[in-house]
Amino acid sequence: MYKILKKKQLAPAIYLMEVEAPRVAHAAQPGQFLIVIVDEKGERIPLTICDYDAGKGTVTIVIQAIGASTMRIVELEEGDSFADFVGPLGHPSEFIHYSPEKLASTRFLFVAGGLGAAPVYPQVKWLAEHGVQADVIIGAKNAGLVLLEEEFRTLTPHVHIATDDGSKGYKGLVTNLLKELVENEGKQFDLVVAIGPMIMMKFVALTTRELNIPTIVSLNTLMVDGTGMCGACRVTVGGKTRFACVEGPEFDGHQVDFDEAMRRQGMYRTIEERKRAIEAERAAGHKCNIGL
């Protein structure tokens, strides 16, 4: 059992939890993820790692209640435990293998959409610990959903906020802010790392292709075991089938077949659930740009 030591609400339906998991904390590196199971009847849910402390033996996750399983998880309180907490999984981010010279000379931009702020955080933190102050765009629907802003500001002075409704920072999509930074503010980037909803990563990749900036994305596919034994997470990258759980989750964003990945993500969404989700989104004032 893996005990929850701390629980904090970050935004409506979004919670941060610090969990006792010494082995995972000891081994975790930026870019990796884990799988949790809430209890005996729970499913295996992939989650990103937001932070880890080998000394304390703790791992921090950020989770949004979006379905039946995640709702059950956010009902857990401090002192409760997860039945299972497996990881770290996947490859660490490639930049942790860079030479000190390459690290110092690379200009990084991280684009964090929504919950994507959580997995971006340990990457920016690792870089800060290695003397690199990366640029970070935090994108959200509105000011209330901007995650981890203060935490990012302690790591780097270059934090940019974009909200769909303009209630905080730049008004508009992260892709527009990205273009704005490059084209109008004279910023130059050697590597963009985009993590967030699949649709956001797709459009960041399209934007950076235009701008000719290499781009890494972290794919949040469906997963079952997360260890390479089932292929539920398979994606097409550069025309080849890859398993996101063991060969990723980070891939070259310009090589990913996002349309296929998004379609496969919806495989277990029943027609009823889809309808309900779309209705709820529309009622909340969301205008869908991809025609759902």
Partner 1 sequence: MANKIPRVPAREQDPAVRATNFEEVCYGYNLEEAQLEASRCLGCKKPRCAEACPVSVQIPAFIHALTEGDVAAAARIIAQDSLLPSVCGRVCPQENQCEGSCILGVKGEPVSIGQLERFVGDWGREQGLTLAEPAPHNGHRVAVVGSGPAGLACAADLAKLGYEVTIFEVLHRAGGVLQYGIPEFRLPKKAVVEPEVENVRRLGVKIETDVVVGRTVTIDQLLDEEGFEAVFIGSGAGLPRFMGIPGENLNGVVSANEFLTRTNLMHAYDEAYDTPIYTGDRVVVVGGGNVAMDAVRTARRLGAEASIVYRRSEAELPARREEVHHAKAEGIDFRMLTNPVEILGDDRGWVTGIRCIRMELGEPDESGRRSPVEIPGSEFDIPCDVVIMALGTSPNPLIAATTPGLETNRRGCLTATAEGATTREGVFAGGDAVTGAATVILAMGAGRKAAAAIDAYVKGKA
Element (H, E) at 258: helix 258-265
Using CB under 8 A, pick the residue from 114, 221, 234, 249 that binds partner 1. 234
Residue 265 counted as an annotated binding residue:
no
Element (H, E) at 211: helix 198-211
Distance CA 13, CA 99 (A): 40
**How many positions of this chain bind partner 1 (CB under 8 A)?**
39
Give the SS3 label for residue 142.
Answer: coil
Which residues, including other chains, have CB under 8 Å from residue 129's CB and lie 6 or more apart?
Answer: none
Is residue 107 within the footprint of partner 1 (CB under 8 A)?
no
Is residue 88 within the footprint of partner 1 (CB under 8 A)?
yes
Looking at 42-50, 98-106, 149-157, 203-211, which segment touches partner 1 (CB under 8 A)?
42-50
Residue 230 counted as an annotated binding residue:
yes
Looking at 95-103, 108-116, 131-139, 232-240, which segment touches partner 1 (CB under 8 A)?
232-240
Residue (73 or 173) nearer to partner 1, CB: 73
**Rounded CA Rg of the chain:** 18
Is residue 46 within the footprint of partner 1 (CB under 8 A)?
no
Is residue 236 within the footprint of partner 1 (CB under 8 A)?
yes
Element (H, E) at 202: helix 198-211
Record the tokens describing residue 205, joined without a space: 């990749």
Is residue 3 within the footprint of partner 1 (CB under 8 A)?
no
Give me the helices (H) in 55-135, please: 68-74, 100-105, 117-129
* Closest-CA residue to 127 (of 111, 154, 163, 103): 103
Using CB under 8 A, pick the residue from 41, 100, 284, 285 that binds partner 1. 41
Give the SS3 label for residue 109.
Answer: strand
Is residue 68 within the footprint of partner 1 (CB under 8 A)?
yes
Whether a cis peptide bond, with omega within 30° of 0, leads into 157 is: no
Which residues, including other chains, have CB under 8 Å from residue 140's CB and lie 6 or more apart?
Answer: 113, 114, 146, 147, 161, 162, 163, 164, 168
Distance CA 97, CA 237 (A): 22
Shortest CB 141 distance to partner 1, Å: 27
Backbone angles phi, psi at 197, to 5 degrees: -60, 150
Whether a cis peptide bond, with omega within 30° of 0, leads into 46 is: no
Give the SS3 label for residue 278.
Answer: helix
Residue 50 counted as an annotated binding residue:
no
User: Which residues inside 9-38 make contact with partner 1, applying CB under 8 A?
Assistant: 23-24, 27, 32, 37-38
Shortest CB 47 distance to partner 1, Å: 14
Is residue 263 within the footprint of partner 1 (CB under 8 A)?
yes
Is residue 258 within the footprint of partner 1 (CB under 8 A)?
no
Using CB under 8 A, pick the residue from 80, 84, 151, 180 that binds partner 1. 84
Residue (75 or 190) nearer to partner 1, CB: 75
Q: Which residues are annotated as a binding site for FAD?
A: 62-64
Which positions touch partner 1 (CB under 8 A)? 23-24, 27, 32, 37-38, 41-44, 68-69, 72, 83-89, 224-225, 227-232, 234-236, 241, 246, 260, 263-264, 266-268
Q: Which residues are annotated as a binding site for [2Fe-2S] cluster?
A: 230, 233, 245
